[in-house]
Amino acid sequence: MIPTTYPSREEIARLSASMLLEVGAVHFNAREPFTHASGKKAPTYVDCRKLISFPRIRTTLMDFLACTVMRDAGFEAFDNIAGGETAGIPFGALVAERLELPMTYVRKKPKGYGRNARIEGVMTEGQRVLLVEDMTTDGGSKISFVEAIRETGATCAHTAVIFFYDIFPDTRDVLGGHGIALHSLCTWWDVLDVAKEQNTFDEETLTEVEKFLRNPTEWQAAHS
């Protein structure tokens, strides 16, 4: 069923952040920072993949994501939903089911045999495609996925994610420069606010995390 009622944007952000904390998808550790895929250190890590194992939370978040996209982009804005390999595939399928649209997925790179395709499923020229992923940091992977979609002759001007870092100031501008609008449910700032309210982490940890969020480059330089 297509969800047509939803809380305010602010309540969606608060509830989404609370759910990420509830299932243990959020990790803060300033004493032993995490190494991200970029090789840089950070006291924060979020694992949205865990959400697929919690049906009630998964269902609620996907309703939120479908409603957010319809509210921001339009109720008849898309013809196809594409999930990004790999974490975006289950969420893409769930959003496609809610919007009653075909689902496809995009590989990070050609598979190297057979059709050597990056797009799996049926995507046709002229279709308006929504790219769905679990999260975005600086938007780089989204641009690669969108370029693969556009090579089919389809259009892709929107991407939707559960979690957006929102600590790198030029992310939206970079995506916008490639003709991509970003839609998200919550950010690190929402998670930090809820974590403070719930006393999920000790004060020292939250203070250090906030220092990182306010100036990640400076924090990483000091902890390299």
100 assigned binding-site residue: no
202 assigned binding-site residue: no
88 assigned binding-site residue: no
139 assigned binding-site residue: yes
**What residues contact residue 14 under an 8 Å CB cut-off, 6+ apart?**
186, 190, 193, 194
141 assigned binding-site residue: yes
Interior/surface letters 142-169, b for 16+ CB within 10 angstroms, e for the rest = bbebbebbeebebbbbbbbbbbbbbbee
Half-sphere exposure of 63 (CA within 13 A, CB side): 15
Instruction: Please answer whether residues 48 and 163 qualify as being in contact, where contact means their C-beta atoms are separated by less than 8 angstroms.
Output: yes
134 assigned binding-site residue: yes
**Closest CA relative to residue 186, chosen from 210, 162, 167, 158:** 162
133 assigned binding-site residue: yes
123 assigned binding-site residue: no
76 assigned binding-site residue: no
Please give the torsion angle defined by the CA atoms of residues 91, 156, 68 and 83, in that order, rounded to the nearest 10 degrees: 0
**What residues contact residue 186 under an 8 Å CB cut-off, 6+ apart?**
12, 13, 14, 16, 17, 20, 162, 163, 164
108 assigned binding-site residue: yes
Instruction: Please answer whether residues 52 and 58 qualify as being in contact, where contact means their C-beta atoms are separated by less than 8 angstroms.
Output: yes
Annotated binding-site ranges for orotate: 137
Q: Provide the annotated binding site.
A: 107-108, 111, 133-141
Annotated binding site for 5-phospho-alpha-D-ribose 1-diphosphate: 107-108, 111, 133-141
